[in-house]
Structure 1
Amino acid sequence: MTTPPLTGHDLIHDYLRMLDSSPGVYRMLNAQSEVLYVGKARNLRARVSNYARASGHSIRIQRMISETASMMFLTTRTEVEALLLEQNLIKQLKPRYNVLMRDDKSFPYILIGKAHPFPALKKHRGARKEKGSYFGPFASAGAVNRTLNQLQKVFLLRNCTDPVFASRTRPCLQFQIRRCAAPCVGRVNETEYAALVHDAERFLSGKSTGVQADLAGEMQKASDAMEFERAAALRDRIKALTAVQSAQGINPRGVAEADVVAVHLDHGQACVQVFFVRANQSWGNRDFYPRTGSGAEEPEILEAFLTQFYDDKEPPRLVLLSHPLENPDLVAEALSARAGRRVEIAVPQRGEKAELVENASRNARESLARRMSESATQNRLLQGLADAFDLDGPPRRIEVYDNAHIQGAHPVGGMIVAGPEGFIKSQYRKFNIKGEAGAPGDDFGMMREMLTRRFERLVAEDPDRRSDSWPDLLLIDGGAGQVSAVAGIMADLGIEDIAMVGVAKGIDRDAGKEEFHRIGQRPMALQRNDPVLYFIQRLRDEAHRWANGAHRAKRAKTVGATPLDEIPGVGAARKRALLSHFGSAKAVSRAALPDLMAVDGISEAMAETVYNFFHRD
């Protein structure tokens, strides 16, 4: 008689004999080898021994222990290394019982470039590879754009690209509406423009009062000298500066640089609100809704959020929190190591800093209430959808497919995804239709290629359907023919248990008269005032928007294409140089070898490559 495998407390206790007191990371796995939880420890043996106890655990931890069928361990040199490794594994594996930050988008910055004698003022995202001064982060692109709009009125810095700057022969519209000093045509010299750049950097560094005082002094001098037009221009710049200062919202006097992070927890759902304070100015806020790991408390949520949030972002010198952490010194050490300087973590109790935290907490509380209300409405709509189409239950994942083309040209397919939390935009997909599927009018062929590629890959990557990438419902833009074709495609792939509904425009193609088609059933319609009908219309319209946007992007890219794109070694810079020198790709194809060699940036070898490409015969 075989002994049943150990699980739960007995299994964990059995692992203790092979563990020592080293710091490291442990993983708890279920019987299907899915990672349930990733944790870090200063002392692996001591930490794991806590799980071996039969009592004293929360319901969440008790449930996790009962599902544990195996464990994995990895030792590190220090506890800080263990913390960083833990968060990397959490983001990679997404364990069910860990707190996981689900929004990992980069934040925009304002960049004053320094690679050009006349630096440009512009928005920047991503790695800081370009030489210049970076200011931020800002909470959103909208916050950056509003600030840039006002800064251009105040400091008159250019926002054009270097090639446009080099090609100007007269001032552009930005100069006419007093948003640029027109250095491209010599309206200001390099020294005068550098002074404007210096003032902009002073303002973005928090020295706005000094900049405003200097502008006021210049305005008074111009007025005294009866240069009233210049005085009026300076007055307008001061007004713009006042506007950008007021647009920053809360401007703390005693906090020069900090991130204010507050969490609010309600019925297992959490909202983390982050306010960015830089140069004594508030540069906006962003809310996050981390997955709470089936019952984590505020300290655990904040600790996991901070380590994941700053994984690819530079921490500020001060992080203000609404709740104390379980390991504040460890997290501060990890953030300091990442920033290359000291990072302080504090939970203020009084004064201006406490007011900042209270403001963030209030926003977190209100944001979570709005989200929970929207989620309740969404759940009612999903239940209504299930009732309308006789589904087994409210769908957790709806995929909507649509395609776009103009008489078969530039065919593109689009897939959008929706669920209990609304549109899941990170799961949207575009499909460049290949082969004969994009023939004029062949919508069936386009749909066939799109769905075949989607589900062949899904079957290959997740044949056992363990992930949440499998849909419960497919919405197809079309009638009985499209639904029948999709059903045939799915049957060929061996997938016959996913519900599908065709959404066809009804009489006169009016919204509200849609007909719905299902396999083996007569067409049906919903009442014009049915909220489920409006919900389906929103899903269909979003699919149209997504597919049409992909189509426009593909068409625009094709319009700008030339034969030069196919030449090995000819990138954007060389293509621009050749077109600027000869005027067109056709002229390049007719150019002699010496003429090609005369172009800046085109070496003898590259000239031969270009010449041979057009003269293969």
Structure 2
Amino acid sequence: MLQKLKNLPNKPGVYQYFDEKGNILYIGKAKSLKNRVKSYFRFSSTLSPAPNLSPRIYKMISEVENLEYIVVENENDALILENSLIKQLKPKYNILLRDDKTYPYIYIDLSEDFPRFEITRKVVKGEKIKYYGPFSTAAKDILDSIYEIFPLVQKSGCLKGKKACLFYQLKKCLAPCEGKISKDDYALIVQEATKLIIDKKALIKRLENKMLKLSQNLRFEEAAQIRDRIERIKKSEINSNIDIAKLEDLDIIAIKAQENIAAIVRLFMREGKVISSSSSIIRFDKDKGFDIDEAYKRAILDFYKMESPLVSKKILVGKDFSQKDEVERLLKDRFDKNISIIYPKRGEKQKLINLAALNAKEIIKKEEKQSEDSILEDIKKLFRLQNTPYRIEIFDNSHLKGSATVGAMVIFENNKFKKSDYRHYNLTSKDEYSQMKELLQRRCESFEKNSPPDLWIIDGGETLRKLAQEIAKSAGVNLDIIAISKEKVDFKAYRTKGKAKDIIYTKNDIFKLQPTDKRLQFVQKLRDEAHRFALTFHKKQKIKEDKKISLLKIKGIGKAKIRRLLNYFGSFENIKEASLEELTTILNKKDALNIKKHFSKDLVNKNML
């Protein structure tokens, strides 16, 4: 260790600290590896932490037994590599943000004669692309509402048919495919629709009127759907009376920390109005502390990625954090434009920061009330985990005699299942061991994009737990892993609630807890949710396979035509229910007739049964 410190190069790079067991403690970047790394230590008769370090960093350096470093060309490259490695390897003392996904935007291509609004998370090529957002939630609800309120081109394939379809008959489209509306008149409808995307209050008012009419006509189920949609749209923004006179685009970020919880709130102001917001929670162990400067740096680097469709030229932050200038330079290189990170101390911009900070404090209060249950601490203590498992990933596979083999990953975070982060996988492996190996390896491949959790739970025994441990280790991640398998009596597995004596395998022990033990029931609940999700996806895939085979049996219908049908109708069920007229907008009349006859035959056979 001492020799490595003496031989550090005076070049930019990334350094990594490890403890005596080889577990990674911290990843940092430096303009000069020699100067930066040496500043952590006091060189006397023995190597010890420098006295001017913060309590958090002092504790970390006290655990350091080894270091590795990577030399890069410049400081920007060091910052990029540091951020990437932190997400992949999840060091003990770095701040790790979970919510680093790209948010959706609504966009429209104004170069088209009859353009449509669509959703994207990436940059769309085109000179006249206009973006609205980002939206943390409810982007699809907003878009669905726009298409219900305005007679726009409803589907991307509509204009290709060159013939008025069912949407025209339902008065949801004005049939530009047959020239029944001019470009100029259509553009006026697009302008009105755009106003409602920007002004959510006006959109909600239109939806409330529609909900009232539906309920007056006794169409209560449809009214309830509109009601739920209104609620989701309302949740997507923070109410603000702050409007900036200039039609300015601003992104606002505020972070607050308390005890072992921190909250990040982002507000998005477009053309002088706050149009949407998002928030995320960071949980940390109190004894490690919380570095708010690093949190701001990570929040900006993780959110503003190369594929971001729209980045404001001004980002307001709640603290003048260190490395702000370096982050600005990186953003300039990344997006090829000047982006200012501003800490406002007065005026309207400071009010926006105060609004974001106030909401961050409220989120922390809410989380503290929901976190009173100590089950996670109990799990940590019982299974001797390294960290409190605030985020847990649970894995299971499902198949039927080797067909439609799928894998599932469900997420438990902040005391609830986080369904937006669930993932399913189509697998090619034939046996259970190989299927789990394929599933976990594919998950590891996405560590850079979606950081590792605190705990993996595997549906299986010790063999699969050891497999998972090896896979995580090969990815360079020090991760807690447990497995849960069903107890078998007379070769039968018992899963009855309150009676199942499932066996839990950890790195050090095997646990056979009583069925009434809350810790066992907690792990069972997570395993059962993964099993449910895997089984549900398996059934969908099996039905899809069966229907595809069914369609391929029709004379003249090949894979290319099935793909065209799916691109237009979206699902096999919609193809089955489509009218002859709708089918002929995609295929010729002979093929359309054959499909209708085929499904009519299926219906007759079912009725006979």
Task: Give the TM-score, by structure 1 length.
Answer: 0.66
Write out per-residue CA displacement over residues 209-259 of structure 1, whole angstroms, 9 at most, x where no aligned residue. Answer: 9xxxxxxxxxxxxxxxxxxxxxxxxxxxxxxxxxx9999643643162111
Mapped to 2, the partners of 1:329 and 1:344 lie a distance apart of: 9
The answer to whether the aligner puts 1:355 opposite 2:351 as a matched pair is yes
Name the structure 2 match of 1:80: 76
- 1:284 aligns with one of 255, 270, 276: 276
Mapped to 2, the partners of 1:113 and 1:278 lie a distance apart of: 19
Q: Contact (CA 8 Å) 2:15, 2:27: kept in 1 or not? A: yes
SS in 2 for 1:504: coil
Q: In the TM superposition, what is the alpha-carbon distance from 1:307 to its structure 2 partner? A: 1.8
Name the structure 1 match of 2:289: 295
- 1:501-540 equivalences under 5 Å are 504-505=495-496, 514-517=499-502, 525-526=515-516, 535=522, 538-539=525-526
AA of the residue aligned to 1:49: K
**RCO comparison, higher one (Cα < 8 Å, 6+):** 2
Write out per-residue CA displacement over residues 299-337 of structure 1, whole angstroms, 9 at most, x where no aligned residue. Answer: 232122212221343531111111111133222222222
- 2:563 aligns with one of 545, 553, 572: 572
AA of the residue aligned to 1:471: I
The answer to whether the aligner puts 1:183 opposite 2:176 as a matched pair is yes
Task: Give the TM-score, by structure 2 length.
Answer: 0.66
Q: In the TM superposition, what is the alpha-carbon distance from 1:79 to its structure 2 partner? A: 3.0
Structure number with greater Rg is: 1
Mapped to 1, the partners of 2:558 and 2:17 lie a distance apart of: 53
Structure 1 gap ranges (5+)? 1-5, 210-243, 438-447, 485-501, 506-511, 589-617
Of 244-253 and 102-111, deviating more is 244-253
- 2:189 aligns with one of 173, 186, 196: 196
- 2:362 aligns with one of 366, 369, 374: 366
AA of the residue aligned to 2:134: F
AA of the residue aligned to 1:580: L
- 2:32 aligns with one of 17, 22, 43: 43
Structure-2 change in CA distance of 1:162 and 1:59 (3 Å): same
Q: Contact (CA 8 Å) 1:204, 1:279: kept in 2 or not? A: no
SS in 2 for 1:561: helix
Q: In the TM superposition, what is the alpha-carbon distance from 1:479 to its structure 2 partner? A: 6.1
How many residues matched?
503
Structure-2 change in CA distance of 1:292 and 1:324 (3 Å): farther
Of 247-256 and 32-41, deviating more is 247-256
Name the structure 2 match of 1:554: 541
Structure-2 change in CA distance of 1:68 and 1:136 (3 Å): farther
Structure-2 change in CA distance of 1:302 and 1:523 (3 Å): closer
Mapped to 2, the partners of 1:174 and 1:481 lie a distance apart of: 63
Name the structure 2 match of 1:19: 9
Q: Contact (CA 8 Å) 1:412, 1:547: kept in 2 or not? A: yes
The answer to whether the aligner puts 1:311 opposite 2:305 as a matched pair is yes
Mapped to 1, the partners of 2:24 and 2:141 lie a distance apart of: 44
Name the structure 2 match of 1:258: 250
Write out per-residue CA displacement over residues 150-186 of structure 1, whole angstroms, 9 at most, x where no aligned residue. Answer: 434665323313158627534527953xx54443454
Q: Contact (CA 8 Å) 1:259, 1:316: kept in 2 or not? A: yes
Q: In the TM superposition, what is the alpha-carbon distance from 1:516 to its structure 2 partner? A: 3.7
- 1:327-346 equivalences under 5 Å are 327-346=323-342
Mapped to 1, the partners of 2:278 and 2:177 lie a distance apart of: 38
Q: Contact (CA 8 Å) 2:88, 2:477: kept in 1 or not? A: no
SS in 1 for 2:481: coil
Of 398-407 and 92-101, deviating more is 398-407
- 1:322 aligns with one of 318, 342, 346: 318
Mapped to 1, the partners of 2:565 and 2:151 lie a distance apart of: 31
Mapped to 2, the partners of 1:481 and 1:170 lie a distance apart of: 61
Name the structure 1 match of 2:579: none
Q: Contact (CA 8 Å) 1:64, 1:97: kept in 2 or not? A: yes
Mapped to 1, the partners of 2:392 and 2:339 lie a distance apart of: 43
Q: Contact (CA 8 Å) 1:28, 1:68: kept in 2 or not? A: yes
Give % identity: 24
Structure-2 change in CA distance of 1:518 and 1:322 (3 Å): closer
SS in 1 for 2:82: helix
Structure-2 change in CA distance of 1:111 and 1:549 (3 Å): farther
AA of the residue aligned to 1:368: I
Structure-2 change in CA distance of 1:503 and 1:186 (3 Å): farther
- 2:529 aligns with one of 542, 547, 551: 542
Structure-2 change in CA distance of 1:373 and 1:13 (3 Å): same
Q: In the TM superposition, what is the alpha-carbon distance from 1:357 to its structure 2 partner? A: 1.2
Name the structure 2 match of 1:169: 164
Q: Contact (CA 8 Å) 1:111, 1:132: kept in 2 or not? A: no
AA of the residue aligned to 2:102: S
Mapped to 1, the partners of 2:167 and 2:119 lie a distance apart of: 20
SS in 1 for 2:337: coil
Mapped to 2, the partners of 1:91 and 1:392 lie a distance apart of: 24
Q: In the TM superposition, what is the alpha-carbon distance from 1:298 to its structure 2 partner? A: 2.0
The answer to whether the aligner puts 1:156 opposite 2:147 as a matched pair is no
Structure-2 change in CA distance of 1:104 and 1:481 (3 Å): farther
When the two chains are superposed, the root-mean-square deviation of aligned CA atoms in Å is: 5.0
Mapped to 1, the partners of 2:116 and 2:165 lie a distance apart of: 18
SS in 2 for 1:357: helix
